[in-house]
């Protein structure tokens, strides 16, 4: 009499051993041949939640169907995860985002996860887009949802950055003529307000300089100040106007000719005031 365990039927024993147990040749209902010990077959029957044991190929398919009865996870894991997450945020108090959704009264009004999944495929879903509620205080429902890029979604958040009627970090950075990274660094790292950044853009001669240019200016300024400070540079210029020379000033300051010329140039360019 054939011995059957789940979807596997023992055909015959083999000479192989695994941990001293006899390894049996088994046939899966799909026709695949696998090798198992009786202890592993018995254990699988007791612990399986999906009617196992199976061959490896059928076990994988069965696991995917176990995750979602409708096979959505197997077809598109990302989309299924998004739909499942939207429902959990609205209905599961244990969800980490529940306080920003369900606790605020936002409801999941699709008929089911399957309904949202199907609606998404029919209404613009692609793997590079994110689900967005048109009314940020509205529910998850077909009339209030859309699939958009990350910038559109970011501009629809409750705490959206606004300045001079312009919404969103990307748009404000573009308005100021700087990169998003530089704007966010000034806002969150340097703790500068948007109004202060705007005033800085009008008064700071290095505001639109590149990072390399700003570092170069800073290095030159530190080097220059280490050798000759602003007051000394002013004195040098006045002395030259009164008949001295760069060579005389270099001897007086005990520096080389180039350092004196550099100090004068820095003074003329306003570097000492930066």
pLDDT in tens, 77-121: 888 889 999 999 999 999 888 988 999 899 999 999 889 999 999
Q: Please report whether residue 21 resides in a domain.
A: yes
Give the mean pLDDT of 36-40.
Answer: 91
- Percent above pLDDT 70 for the chain: 86
Q: What is the DSSP string of 148-210?
A: E-HHHHHTTSTT--EETTEESHHHHHHHHTS-HHHHHIIIIIS---HHHHHHHHHH-TTTTS-
- Percent above pLDDT 90 for the chain: 25
Q: How far apart are CA 145 and CA 117, in angstroms?
A: 12
Q: What are phi and psi of 125, to 5 degrees?
A: -65, 135
What integer pLDDT is reported at residue 140 of this predicted model? 94
Q: Is pLDDT above 60 for 39?
A: yes
Q: Please report whether residue 267 resides in a domain.
A: yes
Number of domains in the chain: 4
Q: Is pLDDT above 70 for 73?
A: no
Q: Please report whether residue 19 resides in a domain.
A: yes
Q: Please report whether residue 209 resides in a domain.
A: no
Top mean-pLDDT range of 119-123, 223-227, 246-250:
119-123
Give the mean pLDDT of 8-20.
Answer: 91
What integer pLDDT is reported at residue 203 of this predicted model? 82
Same domain, 126 and 107: yes
Residue found by looking up tokens 């040749």 in the block: 25
What integer pLDDT is reported at residue 14 of this predicted model? 93
Q: Please report whether residue 208 resides in a domain.
A: no
Same domain, 170 and 109: no
pTM: 0.39
Nearest Cα neighbor of 91 from 116, 72, 66 is: 116
260 touches 253 (CB < 8 A) = yes
Same domain, 81 and 146: yes
What integer pLDDT is reported at residue 1 of this predicted model? 59
What is the length of the chain? Answer: 274
What integer pLDDT is reported at residue 111 of this predicted model? 92
Q: How far apart are CA 126 and CA 58, in angstroms?
A: 29
What integer pLDDT is reported at residue 93 of this predicted model? 92
Q: pLDDT-based confidence at 200, cuts 50/70/90?
A: confident
Q: Please report whether residue 56 resides in a domain.
A: yes
Taking only the tens place, the pLDDT of each residue in 137-191 is: 889 999 999 998 766 665 555 556 778 888 778 888 888 888 888 888 888 778 8
Q: Please report whether residue 144 resides in a domain.
A: yes
- Partners of 99 in the beta sheet? none
Give the mean pLDDT of 218-238.
Answer: 75
Least confident of 63-67, 211-215, 238-242: 63-67
Q: Is pLDDT above 80 for 241?
A: yes
Q: Is pLDDT above 70 for 66?
A: no
Taking only the tens place, the pLDDT of each residue in 182-193 is: 888 888 778 888
Domain that holds residue 262: 214-273
Print the SS3 string covering 127-150: CCCEEEECCCCCCECHHHEEEECH
Q: Please report whether residue 259 resides in a domain.
A: yes
Per-chain mean pLDDT for the chain? 83
Same domain, 134 and 180: no
What integer pLDDT is reported at residue 195 of this predicted model? 87
């Amino acid at each position: 009499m054939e011995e059957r365990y789940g979807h596997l039927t023992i055909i015959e024993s083999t000479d192989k051993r695994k941990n001293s147990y006899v390894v049996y040749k088994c046939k899966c209902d799909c026709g695949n041949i696998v090798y198992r010990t009786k202890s592993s077959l018995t254990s699988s029957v007791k612990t399986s939640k999906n009617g196992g044991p199976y061959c490896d190929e059928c076990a994988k398919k069965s696991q995917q169907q176990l995750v979602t009865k409708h096979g959505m996870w197997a077809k598109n894991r990302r989309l299924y995860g998004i739909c499942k997450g939207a429902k959990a945020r609205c209905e599961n108090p244990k969800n980490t985002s529940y306080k920003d959704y369900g606790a605020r009264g936002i409801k999941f009004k699709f008929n089911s996860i399957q309904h949202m999944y199907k609606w998404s495929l029919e209404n613009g879903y692609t793997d590079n887009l994110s689900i967005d509620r048109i009314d940020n205080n509205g529910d998850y429902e077909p009339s209030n949802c859309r699939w958009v890029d990350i910038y559109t979604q970011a501009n629809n958040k409750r705490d959206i950055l606004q300045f001079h009627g312009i919404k969103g970090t990307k748009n404000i950075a573009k308005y100021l003529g700087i990169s998003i990274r530089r704007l966010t660094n000034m806002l969150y790292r340097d703790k500068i307000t948007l109004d202060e950044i705007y005033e800085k853009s009008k008064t700071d001669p290095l505001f639109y300089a590149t990072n390399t240019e700003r570092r170069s200016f800073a290095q030159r300024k530190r080097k220059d100040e280490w050798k000759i400070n602003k007051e000394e540079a002013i004195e040098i210029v006045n002395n030259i106007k009164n008949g001295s020379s760069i060579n005389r000033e270099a001897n007086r300051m005990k520096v080389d000719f180039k350092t004196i010329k550099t100090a004068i140039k820095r003074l003329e360019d306003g570097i000492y005031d930066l």
